[in-house]
């Protein structure tokens, strides 16, 4: 256990002076804490510890570690311990009716009694077949699992806290990055958001530069990151960008979910080498990996092997083979990849017995033992799980037992940590609200520049405006119905268009928002305001172009004041419908559902807008009061025609516009009320969108 006092031995200032744990060269230069962990020393003697196999990598790791020395400043080494971690979920058992009602729910255990320890300077790899629970365990240890876990997980003897959260980096399996930003922009914006406000912008940019240089990304500084549909940098480079984003904060604990998947072996090796170097700098690094090569395996300090959510081994990587040998599982060949061997065991595949020609009697004895052992995969797994439980190192048990006590005692101190009175007395946010807003606004504008100024969008608006101008070419009051039709078209077109654009906003941004918010990068409010302010230019420029073209071509009142007021009403309508789109997107968080609901809503608003149906039955008349198109349409007519305005209602006859049937039924009154209602809707929809985002975060 490490008390706060003890752990303060690693306090940043002291650490900066004392430097990193020494890297002295092979064979002594193992991780700083190199005592054996598990399985029991009864099974594998500590004297069997073998550093030689790691020899080649130590020098390289030392090299990488020294490269990253610029990150030492605020390092706060963390010992991660976890004991008997159990995690279950409730699932429907699949025997439901085709309507999906009344599905029986059952509990499924994903993790079952997982125990282990990772100390500063160590690289712990979690191995296991697909679906064995590696990602779930990693997410749980990183404090990001939504449900409750049973068991004990401590960080320097304390439970998870907001302080630990800020010292923790997590790199997910899928790279969650903005595809249209360059590598340089991605890392620089991350630095601006994640590094403390005490550093100047220049210093933060320099930090991003250094991370780029050390991860070999400098040459790709100006390349787009790309994604599934947009070709950008390579998969390995993208992975390094993701790692770089976490390195910027100099995490004491770094979790990586399959950082090498999909990469060639050389790139994978380079990445693991980098991670090992980072670990040697005093960090605790935990990663999951599917099928490491022998070379990769040799770089791990510790491994934890999971089989169906239960551990079959947790301890030093270079002792795993001896451990399994000591409980009777020996590979058939001398030169087997340990990872392949462990994965076979985790899958319940018993290794073929190796024939020992020098000791045939011994071999026969082993064959007899072998015959007595279970053969089917489930029994083999069960036998391995039980062996692991039996052979847990007593020293570790005692150590974690102490931890359990400190966990109880630590509740108070955990509170102090999370309330900001922690070891470094830091506030919850590293940057101010305004800085977050500013950086997020700039980043959003850069990311969406292609979308905002896309030729296709501009072409769409230009072509519709010219078409409308031609269709309504110089319409005048002799064709009142046509002219009113143009005003209604404005209300509808500028209701649909922004609504459908806005619906995609939050469902599309959700993965990045979740990732960045869970790293405590910024407040939700600063993100939200940056997003809506960032959308403004394009939301306002396009309708302005549209109205300017179609208004004058369409022969509406040739008065600058009327034109300006018309434009204002349309811009208000645009902001309102955008707000509704944001709210629908945030509530449903699903593009398909959002688009369906939006089309139904807009159809209702269109029909209840006052143009098509002038005499609605009283039981449905209320619909028009919730339709913002109705208020917009009323305002456009109120702005266009004065009370005394006349139109040609027959050959040589003039009537009051206010008596025109389609206008009369709108019962135009004081326009201030319509404006007030639209403004209330505008604020209400946006507030609703914000609240929906907040609620989503809680679930
Ligand atoms: N929220 C969930 N709902 C349903 N099943 C879940 C959930 N979370 C995890 N599981 C299940 O738990 C098991 C472990 O999942 P996990 O992603 O941790 O495995 P893994 O070892 O990381 O797999 P892989 O190597 O394929 O990524 C899987 O069978 C998965 O389907």
Bigger pLDDT: 365 vs 92: 92
**DSSP calls for 26-81:** TTT-S-S-----SS-TTTS-GGG---GGGHHHHHHHHHHHHHGGGG-TT-----EE
How remote is the CA of residue 397 from the centroid of ligand 1, in Å? 28
pLDDT of residue 254: 93
Where does ligand 1 bind, in terms of residues with CB under 6 Å? 89, 91, 110, 128, 130-136, 290
Q: What is the pLDDT of residue 138?
A: 95
Q: Which of 22-26, 325-329, 675-679 has the highest mean pLDDT?
A: 675-679
Classify each residue of 677-697 as buried b or exposed e, where b means 16 or more C-beta atoms within 10 Å of its C-beta. bbeebbeebbebbbebbeebe
Q: Categorize the per-residue pLDDT at 369 as very low, low, confident or very high, splitting at 50, 70 and 90.
A: low
Residue bearing the CA closest to ligand 1, atom 25 = 130
What is the whole-number distance in angstroms between the Cα of residue 281 and the centre of ligand 1? 32
Q: What integer pLDDT is reported at residue 535 of this predicted model?
A: 87
CA of 135 to the centre of ligand 1 (A): 7
The pLDDT of residue 94 is 56
With tokens 């399985």, the residue in question is 39
Structure tokens at 222: 């100006």
Question: In 3-state terms, what secondary structure has residue 516?
Answer: helix
Q: Please report the pLDDT score of residue 60 as a whole number.
A: 52
Spacing, Cα 172 to ligand 1 middle (Å): 14
CA atoms of 195 and 184, how far apart (whole Å) = 16
Q: How confident is the model at residue 312 (pLDDT cuts 50, 70, 90)?
A: very high
pLDDT at 288 over 50: yes
| Percent of the chain predicted with pLDDT > 90 | 31
The rounded Å distance from CA 153 to ligand 1 centre is: 20
> Does 273 or 643 have the greater pLDDT score?
273
CA proximity to 85, closest of 243, 268, 255, 309: 309
- Residue 687 confidence class, pLDDT cut points 50, 70, 90: very high
pLDDT at 367 (0 to 100) = 55
Q: Considering the chain, what is the average pLDDT of its residues? A: 79
357 pLDDT band (50/70/90 cuts)?
A: low
| Spatial distance between the Cα atoms of 345 and 499, rounded to a whole number of angstroms | 55
Q: Whose CA is nearest to atom 30 of ligand 1?
A: 131
For ligand 1, mutation pick of 92, 136, 146, 304 (most atoms within 8 Å of CB): 136
Contacts of 227 (CB under 8 A, 6+ apart): 177, 179
Name the strand (E) or helix (H) holding 237.
Answer: helix 235-247
| Ligand 1 center–CA 418 separation, angstroms | 30
Q: How many CA atoms lie within 13 A of 669 on its CB side?
A: 6
Ligand 1: residue whose CA is nearest its atom 4:
91
Q: Is the pLDDT at 36 greater than 70, yes or no?
A: no
Q: What is the predicted pLDDT for the residue at 372? A: 56
Question: By mean pLDDT, which of 91-95, 313-317, 548-552 is the weakest?
Answer: 91-95
- Cα distances (Å, whole numbers) of residue 557 to 29, 561, 641, 645: 84, 10, 8, 11
Q: Which residues pair with 285 in a beta bridge?
A: 123, 254
Distance, CA of 455 to chain centre:
30
Q: How do the residues of the chain divide into helix, strand and coil, expressed in percent and rounded to 5? A: 55, 10, 35
Q: DSSP letter at 647?
A: E
Indicate whether 7 pLDDT > 70.
Answer: no
The H or E element spanning position 639 is: helix 628-640
Q: Is the pLDDT of residue 57 over 60?
A: no
Q: Is the pLDDT of residue 19 over 50?
A: no
pLDDT of 51: 36
**What's the gap in Å between 137 CA and the centre of ligand 1?**
10
- 68-92+102-167+249-395: CATH topology: Rossmann fold (3.40.50)
CA 88–ligand 1 middle distance (angstroms): 11
258: CB partners within 8 A, 6+ apart: 135, 173, 287, 288, 289, 290
The pLDDT value recorded for residue 368 is 58
pLDDT at 4: 36
Across the beta sheet with 80-92, the strand order is 105-118, 80-92, 150-155
* Spatial separation of the C-alpha atoms in residues 578 and 503, rounded to whole Å: 8
Residue 654 · residue 648 · CB < 8 Å: yes
Ligand 1 mean position to 86 CA, how many Å? 14
176 to each of 142, 227, 415, 583, 634, how far by Cα in Å?
17, 9, 31, 24, 45
pLDDT tens figures, 557-577: 889 999 999 999 999 999 999
Joined together, the tokens standing for residue 581 give 């789109």
DSSP state of 669: -
**What's the CA-to-centroid distance between 268 and ligand 1, angstroms?**
23
Which of 134, 142, 170 to mutate to test ligand 1, by most ligand atoms within 8 A of the CB atom?
A: 134
- State which of 132, 137, 148 you would mutate to test the pocket of ligand 1, scoring each by most atoms of that ligand within 8 A of its C-beta: 132
Interval 197-235: pLDDT, tens = 888 889 999 999 988 987 888 999 999 998 877 888 988
Q: Are 629 and 495 in contact (CB under 8 A)?
A: yes
Atom in ligand 1 nearest the alpha carbon of residue 306:
21
pLDDT of residue 550: 92
**pLDDT higher for 219 or 93?**
219
Cα–Cα distance for residue pair 652/670, rounded to 1 Å: 32
Closest residue by CA, ligand 1 atom 17: 135
Cα 253 to ligand 1 centroid, rounded to whole Å: 23
User: Whose Cα sits closest to atom 10 in ligand 1?
Assistant: 110
Q: Atom 1 in ligand 1: which residue has the minimum CA distance? A: 89
Query: Rounded to a whole number, what is the distance in angstroms from the first to the last CA of the chain?
Result: 33
The ligand 1 atom at the shortest distance from the C-alpha of residue 309 is: 14
Whole-number pLDDT of residue 12: 31
Ligand 1 geometric centre to CA of 134 (Å) = 8
| pLDDT (average), residues 485-509 | 91
pLDDT mean over 151-166: 86
The number of the ligand 1 atom at minimal distance from the alpha carbon of 173 is: 27
pLDDT of residue 407: 39
Mean pLDDT over residues 283-293, rounded?
Answer: 92
Among 420-424, 436-440, 603-607, name the one with the lowest average pLDDT: 420-424
pLDDT above 90 (res 578): yes
Which has more confidence, 218 or 401? 218
Q: Whose CA is nearest to atom 20 of ligand 1?
A: 131
Q: How far apart are CA 467 and CA 549, in angstroms?
A: 10
Q: Is the pLDDT of residue 53 over 70?
A: no
Distance 132 CA to ligand 1 centre (A): 7
Task: Compare 396 and 41 and report the one with higher pLDDT.
Answer: 396
pLDDT of residue 23: 29
In tens, the pLDDT along 438-461 reads: 999 999 998 887 776 678 888 888
Q: What is the pLDDT of residue 401?
A: 57
Q: Which atom of ligand 1 is nearest to the CA of 136?
A: 18
**What number does the ligand 1 atom closest to the CA of 137 have?**
18
Give nearest CA residue, ligand 1 atom 2.
89
Can you tell me the distance from the alpha carbon of 302 to that of 36, in angstroms, rounded to the nearest whole number? 10
The ipTM value here is 0.95
For residue 138, which atom of ligand 1 is closest to its CA? 18
Q: How is residue 300 annotated by DSSP?
A: -
Question: In the predicted model, is pLDDT for residue 541 greater than 60?
Answer: yes
Average pLDDT over every residue of 86-113: 72
Atom 8 in ligand 1: residue holding the nearest Cα: 136
Distance CA 367, CA 354 (A): 10
288 C-alpha to ligand 1 centroid (Å): 13
Q: Which atom of ligand 1 is least distant from the CA of 290? A: 25
DSSP 568-607: HHHHHHHHHHHHHHHHHHHHH--HHHHHHHHHHHHHHHHH
Q: Distances in Å between the alpha carbon of 303 and those of 27, 159, 315?
A: 20, 23, 6
State both tokens at 691.
Answer: 């609240």
Domain ranges in the chain? 68-92+102-167+249-395, 433-698
pLDDT digits (tens, 9 = 90+) for 607-660: 888 788 877 788 888 888 888 888 999 899 888 888 777 877 777 788 887 877
């Amino acid at each position: 256990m490490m008390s706060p006092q003890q752990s303060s031995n690693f306090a940043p200032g002291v650490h900066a002076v004392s430097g990193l744990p020494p890297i002295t060269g092979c064979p002594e230069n193992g991780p700083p804490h190199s005592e054996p962990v598990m399985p029991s020393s009864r099974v594998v003697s500590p004297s069997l510890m073998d550093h030689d196999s790691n020899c080649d990598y130590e020098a390289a790791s030392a090299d990488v570690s020294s490269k990253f020395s610029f990150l030492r400043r605020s390092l706060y080494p963390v010992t991660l311990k976890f004991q008997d971690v159990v995690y279950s979920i409730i699932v429907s058992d699949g025997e439901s009716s085709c309507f999906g009602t009344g599905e029986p729910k059952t509990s499924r255990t994903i993790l079952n009694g997982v125990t282990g320890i990772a100390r500063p300077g160590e690289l712990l790899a979690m191995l296991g077949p697909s679906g064995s629970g590696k990602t779930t365990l990693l997410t749980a240890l990183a404090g990001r699992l939504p449900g409750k876990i049973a068991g004990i997980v401590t960080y320097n003897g304390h439970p998870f806290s907001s302080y630990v959260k800020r010292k923790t980096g997590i790199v997910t399996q899928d790279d969650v990055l903005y595809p249209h930003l360059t590598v340089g922009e991605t890392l620089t914006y991350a630095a601006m958001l994640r590094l403390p406000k005490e550093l100047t912008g220049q210093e933060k940019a320099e930090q991003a530069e250094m991370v780029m240089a050390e991860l070999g990304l400098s040459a790709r500084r100006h390349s787009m990151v790309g994604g599934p549909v947009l070709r950008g940098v390579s998969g390995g480079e993208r992975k390094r960008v993701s790692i770089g984003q976490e390195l910027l904060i100099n995490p004491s604990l770094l979790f990586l979910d399959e950082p090498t998947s999909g990469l060639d072996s050389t790139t994978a090796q380079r990445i693991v080498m980098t991670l090992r170097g980072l670990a040697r700098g005093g960090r605790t690094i935990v990663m999951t990996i599917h099928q490491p090569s022998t070379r990769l395996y040799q770089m791990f300090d510790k491994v934890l092997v999971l089989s169906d959510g239960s551990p079959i081994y947790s301890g030093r990587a270079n002792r795993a083979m001896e451990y399994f040998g000591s409980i009777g599982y020996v590979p058939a060949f001398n030169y087997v990849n340990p990872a392949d061997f462990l994965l076979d065991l985790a899958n319940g595949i018993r290794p073929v017995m190796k024939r020992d020609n020098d000791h045939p009697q011994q071999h026969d004895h082993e064959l007899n033992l072998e015959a007595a052992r279970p053969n089917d995969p489930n029994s083999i797994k069960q036998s391995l799980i039980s062996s692991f439980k039996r052979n847990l190192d007593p020293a570790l048990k005692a150590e974690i037992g102490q931890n359990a006590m400190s966990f109880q005692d630590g509740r108070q101190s955990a509170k102090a940590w999370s309330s900001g009175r922690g070891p470094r007395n830091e506030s919850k946010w590293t940057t101010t609200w305004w800085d977050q807003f500013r950086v997020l606004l700039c980043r959003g504008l850069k990311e969406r520049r292609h979308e905002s100024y896309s030729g296709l969008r501009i072409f769409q608006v230009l072509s519709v405006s010219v078409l409308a101008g031609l269709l309504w070419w110089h319409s005048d009051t002799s064709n009142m119905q046509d002219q009113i039709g143009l005003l209604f078209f404005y209300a509808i077109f500028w209701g649909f268009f922004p609504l459908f654009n806005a619906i995609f906003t939050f469902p599309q941004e959700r993965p990045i928002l979740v990732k960045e918010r869970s790293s405590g990068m910024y407040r939700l409010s600063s993100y939200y305001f940056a997003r809506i302010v960032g959308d403004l230019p394009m939301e306002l420029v396009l309708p302005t172009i549209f109205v300017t073209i179609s208004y004058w071509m369409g022969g509406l009142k040739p008065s600058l004041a009327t034109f300006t007021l018309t434009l204002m009403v349309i811009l208000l309508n645009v902001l309102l419908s955008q707000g509704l789109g944001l709210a629908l997107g945030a509530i449903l968080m699903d593009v398909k559902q959002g688009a369906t609901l939006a089309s139904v809503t807009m159809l209702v608003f269109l029909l209840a807008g006052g143009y098509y149906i002038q005499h609605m039955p009283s039981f449905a008349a209320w619909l028009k009061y919730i339709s913002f198109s109705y208020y917009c349409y009323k305002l456009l007519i109120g702005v266009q025609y004065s009370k005394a305005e006349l139109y040609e209602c027959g050959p040589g006859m003039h009537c009051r516009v206010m008596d025109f049937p389609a206008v009369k039924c709108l019962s135009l009154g004081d326009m201030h009320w319509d404006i007030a209602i639209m403004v209330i809707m505008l604020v209400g929809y946006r507030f609703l969108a914000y609240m929906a985002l907040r609620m989503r975060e809680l679930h």
